[in-house]
Amino acid sequence: MNVHDRVEDIYVAERNHIYAYLLLCGVAPQRAQELVQDTFLKLFQKLSKEEAVDNPRAWLYRVAYHFALRHRGREPVFDEIDPAAPFREPGPDPESELLERERRQALVTAVRDLSPQQRNCLHLRVQGLRYREIAETIGISTSAVGEFLRRAVVRLKEAIDAY
């Protein structure tokens, strides 16, 4: 498989994830689209020079993260989560719907209250990256990733358990 075909396959599989990640980092949608293209162009250039990329997915997140940092400044600003976003199909029971809305709002508030690093680590973990890959992506130690994720999960669990 030549470089063009390999990058095209990776692009099809990962472009939406990288775009969503850039939005999470506070990059405006139009600029995020441009940064997605720049990220994949950088991958194409690296592979064209026959330089090894052991884990293209993690490498793309790392490049996108650094593009977002340059674009937004040193500390990324994360977008708010829309409390009206459907987490599941609403049930026919109004009481259940009300309880679900309250739980959703508690979760949104809990996510909003997480530190930017906790949200960033949580998002990357949800995307399937391993601790080592997350650490490489945002430039922290693997143990720091574990601690950020542990604290985030404890806070989110406390918020959900309260309802």
**pLDDT tens, residue by residue, 141-150:** 999 999 999 9
Q: Are 156 and 111 in contact (CB under 8 A)?
A: yes
The pLDDT, as a whole number, for residue 73 is 64
Task: Please tell me the least confidently modeled range out of 23-27, 37-41, 151-155.
Answer: 23-27
Please say if the pLDDT value at position 152 is more than 60: yes
**pLDDT tens, residue by residue, 37-94:** 999 999 999 999 999 889 999 999 999 999 998 887 644 455 556 666 665 554 457 8
Runs of H (alpha helix) within the chain: 3-24, 29-48, 56-72, 94-113, 116-126, 131-138, 142-161
Q: Which structural domains are found in the chain, ordered by start?
A: 3-72 (1.10.1740), 94-161 (1.10.10.10)
What is the rounded distance in angstroms from the CA atom of residue 43 to the CA atom of residue 117?
25
Q: How large a percentage of the chain has pLDDT more than 70?
A: 86
Task: Please tell me the least confidently modeled range out of 5-9, 44-48, 94-98.
Answer: 94-98
Note if the pTM is more than 0.75.
no
